Amino acid sequence: MGSRSPAYKRVLLKVSGEVLKGERKYGIDPKATSEIAKQIKEVADLGISIGVVIGGGNIFRGISASAKGMERVSADYMGMLATVVNALALQDALEKEGLPTRVMTAIRIEQVAEPYIRRRALRHLEKGRAVIFAGGTGNPYFTTDSAAALRAIEMQAAVLLKGTKVDGIYTADPHQDKEATKYKSLSYIDFLKEGIKVMDSTAVSLCMENNLPIIVFNLNHKGDLKRIVMGEGIGTKVDHQRKGE
């Protein structure tokens, strides 16, 4: 693998807040965050430019709070702020690994992060810095999955990598159905038709319209992020190809 060239020169990694909490019920697990940072640094060391969109579900999930009676817009803004907390934690972990990192947020908080400006973000990537995009899209009613698809397209990424706690997309929830089988590949249309919940339909539709492939994989499997960028068939790939098992 050492003699091969990476399959992608620029990637956008979506990290769910759930991954940052590790084995905890909520909050940020420094050990889990450090392990993610090590994997990102490993990819950056290959000369690949990497952007990260981070979720906030380990701290606060806007749609869940809304379902319990909180006004949706306020709940969503609280969720956006949670992503900023996670972004700062991941930035700290990445810089401890020796990777220069910038946090850019769609919500203006100049004391802790740069405001998101597309050209400035591209410049950071060109200079070899990792860029963490926080605050979602800056708008309520849009998930961080949609923010990941949007930022990937804006940053001219070759692929959107969705890091979860499951090693791909299955025919059913593998934690509840032992008979569930994993898809090696899946088309955008099949993803949308089957109502798969791994990523929201707005994000998938945006990727489909812009021909941006998605790879869903388990970020907790050490080394899988590097294997993917080197072209190995890890996880489930979503693109215009027909589905396969």
C-beta pairs of 42-47 under 8 Å, 24+ apart in sequence: 42/223, 42/225, 42/226, 43/11, 43/225, 43/226, 43/229, 44/99, 44/128, 44/130, 46/6, 46/226, 46/229, 46/230, 47/6, 47/9
Q: Are 28 and 86 in contact (CB under 8 A)?
A: yes
Confidence of residue 2 (pLDDT cuts 50, 70, 90): very low
pLDDT in tens, 61-75: 766 766 677 889 999
Q: Which domains occur in the chain, in start order?
A: 10-239 (3.40.1160.10)
Least confident of 31-35, 113-117, 141-145, 169-173: 169-173
pLDDT of amino acid 243: 57
Distance CA 151, CA 133 (A): 8
